[in-house]
């Protein structure tokens, strides 16, 4: 259905899973524009890198002339916008890059898309889409018994990251409303799966547990997230791109609410089972309760009924099946972990964890 698409941030966690999923489905050609920050890793895409349907461009979404040139050269039918600074803890320690990429970068991309779209004609104009990949964190935090976030939940972002994503969502909305850009927004919950950089909860806990290092759980560990297997998310994005209504928002969630302590304990039992000879068994002995994240949101939960009922999407993985696949992937890809946990990563560990006292 799409001849060619432009993906931003396709060398990151969700982006690279999406690129692999898209190309495996023979959905047309794909150009991946990625700045390759610490979070971008072209190694994720070596299996498709030399194929005729894929091209990679290293560059910044804030670079308007580069984006104009890419749009002219590749004439995409859609832009799928993943590129962002995505880690809440980093946004607390250094918010500026989040404003630059997430807000200004999205603005630059919208302006370029708008000008490109204005010159399209006929069927090309009809089918063009701008898909903005956003987060449930824009909705703020939920009390234990509150209903899950739905598409009409008011925005109430609490971290610099969430505020920057909320701002980018507002820009997209305004570009639809004012300029008629055919954009759609998706807001999804916590993704997990292969290729996730080990600064986020699950890959951090997996890589630490394998090395016998402490497993740092923030605060009381009772914060709840709604876990979404990354391939379920990619399938949802494809459904939205193909059949979503312009100007709409679709929430994407896995229907798997778990507290952080439940997640880490489940992971530890799984590692005990998969690594019966490990010297660190039982892995739960590595858990350490540490100082909380400032402004830590207590609970996220997604009501995905709109996506399910309108577009027929359903999450295929339960948390148990998705977690097993994820852990098996990290066990089978020790070289990948080795490659991303060198120099700069060690520095981040120092910055974020060395100062965090025990609770």
Return the active site residues. 136-137, 161
Tell how strand 224-226 and strand 257-259 pair up.
antiparallel
DSSP state at residue 137:
G
Least distance in Å: CB of 162 to ligand DAU?
7
Q: Which of 218, 329, 336, 345 is close enough to bind ligand DAU by CB under 6 A? A: 218
Which of residues 100 and 242 has its CB atom nearest to ligand DAU in the complex? 100
Q: Does 160 bind ligand NAD (CB under 6 A)?
A: no
Give ∠ CA 170-172-174 in degrees, rounded to 5.
70
Residues 6+ apart with CB under 8 A from 185: 132, 134, 169, 172, 173, 248, 249, 250
Picked from ligand DAU, ligand NAD, none, the partner binding residue 9 (CB below 5 to 8 A depending on kind) is ligand NAD
Q: Which residues between 270 and 299 bind ligand DAU (CB under 6 A)?
A: 293
Q: From CA 161, how far away is CA 87, in angstroms rounded? A: 7
Q: Which residue has the tokens 């200004």?
A: 104
Picked from ligand DAU, ligand NAD, none, the partner binding residue 14 (CB below 5 to 8 A depending on kind) is ligand NAD
Q: Does 200 bind ligand DAU (CB under 6 A)?
A: yes
Q: Which of 7, 39, 80, 307 is close enough to bind ligand NAD by CB under 6 A? A: 39
- Token pair for residue 2? 């799409």
Picked from ligand NAD, ligand DAU, none, the partner binding residue 67 (CB below 5 to 8 A depending on kind) is none
Q: Does 35 bind ligand NAD (CB under 6 A)?
A: yes
List the one residue out of 229, 234, 252 whose CA is nearest residue 319.
Answer: 229
Which of residues 66 and 261 has its CB atom nearest to ligand DAU in the complex? 261
Q: Which residues between 178 and 197 bind ligand NAD (CB under 6 A)?
A: 188, 190-191, 197
Q: Does 86 bind ligand NAD (CB under 6 A)?
A: yes
Q: From CA 238, how far away is CA 184, in angstroms rounded? A: 12
Which of residues 212 and 295 has its CB atom nearest to ligand NAD in the complex? 295
Q: From CA 159, how far away is CA 294, in angstroms rounded? A: 9
DSSP for 5-35, written as a single string: EEEESTTSHHHHHHHHHHHHTT--EEEEEE-
Which of residues 208 and 233 has its CB atom nearest to ligand NAD in the complex? 233
Stretch of 35-43, 109-117, 141-149, 243-251 contacting ligand NAD, by CB under 6 A: 35-43
Q: Does 204 bind ligand DAU (CB under 6 A)?
A: yes
DSSP E strand boundaries for the chain:
4-8, 29-34, 54-58, 78-81, 129-135, 183-188, 191-192, 215-218, 224-226, 228-229, 249-252, 257-259, 287-290
List the one residue out of 252, 269, 272, 253 whose CA is nearest residue 261.
Answer: 269
List the one residue out of 278, 312, 291 whose CA is nearest residue 359.
Answer: 291
Q: Does 40 bind ligand NAD (CB under 6 A)?
A: yes
Which of residues 71 and 184 has its CB atom nearest to ligand DAU in the complex? 184
Instruction: Summarize as ranges the residues that interact with ligand DAU (CB under 6 A).
Output: 86-88, 135-137, 189-190, 200-201, 204, 216-218, 223, 225, 260, 293, 300
Instruction: Summarize as ranges the residues that interact with ligand NAD (CB under 6 A).
Output: 8-9, 11-15, 34-37, 39-40, 60-62, 82-84, 86, 101, 105, 133, 135, 165, 188, 190-191, 197
């Amino acid at each position: 259905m799409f001849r060619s698409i432009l993906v931003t941030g396709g060398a990151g966690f969700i982006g690279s899973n999406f690129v692999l999923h898209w190309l495996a489905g023979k959905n047309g050609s794909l150009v991946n524009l990625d700045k390759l920050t610490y979070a971008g890793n072209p190694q994720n895409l070596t299996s498709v890198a030399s194929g005729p349907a894929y091209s990679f461009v290293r560059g910044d979404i804030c670079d308007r002339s580069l984006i104009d040139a890419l749009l002219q050269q590749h004439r995409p039918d859609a832009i799928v916008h993943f590129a962002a600074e995505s880690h809440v803890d980093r946004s607390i320690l250094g918010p500026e890059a989040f404003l630059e990429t997430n807000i200004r970068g999205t603005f630059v991309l919208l302006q370029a898309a708008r000008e490109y779209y204005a010159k399209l004609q006929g069927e090309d104009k009809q089918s063009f889409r701008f898909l903005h990949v956003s987060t449930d964190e824009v909705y703020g935090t939920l009390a234990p018994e509150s209903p899950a976030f739905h598409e009409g939940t008011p925005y109430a972002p609490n971290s610099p990251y969430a505020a920057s994503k909320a701002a980018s969502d507002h820009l997209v909305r305004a570009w639809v409303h004012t300029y008629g850009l055919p954009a759609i927004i998706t807001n999804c919950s916590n993704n997990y799966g292969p290729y996730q950089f080990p600064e986020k909860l699950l890959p951090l806990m997996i890589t630490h547990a394998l090395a016998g290092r402490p497993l740092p759980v923030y605060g009381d560990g009772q914060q709840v997230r709604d876990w979404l297997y990354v391939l379920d998310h990619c399938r949802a994005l494809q459904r939205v791109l193909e059949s979503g209504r312009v100007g709409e928002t679709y929430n994407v969630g896995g229907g798997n609410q778990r507290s952080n302590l439940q997640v880490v304990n489940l992971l530890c039992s799984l590692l005990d089972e998969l690594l019966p000879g490990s010297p660190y068994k039982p892995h739960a002995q590595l858990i350490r309760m540490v100082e909380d994240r400032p402004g830590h949101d207590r609970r996220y939960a997604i009501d995905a009924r709109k996506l399910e009922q309108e577009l027929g999407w359903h999450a295929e993985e339960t948390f148990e099946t998705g977690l097993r696949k994820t852990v098996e992937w990290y066990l089978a890809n020790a070289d990948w972990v080795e490659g991303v946990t060198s120099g700069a990563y060690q520095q981040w560990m120092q910055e974020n964890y060395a100062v965090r006292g025990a609770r």
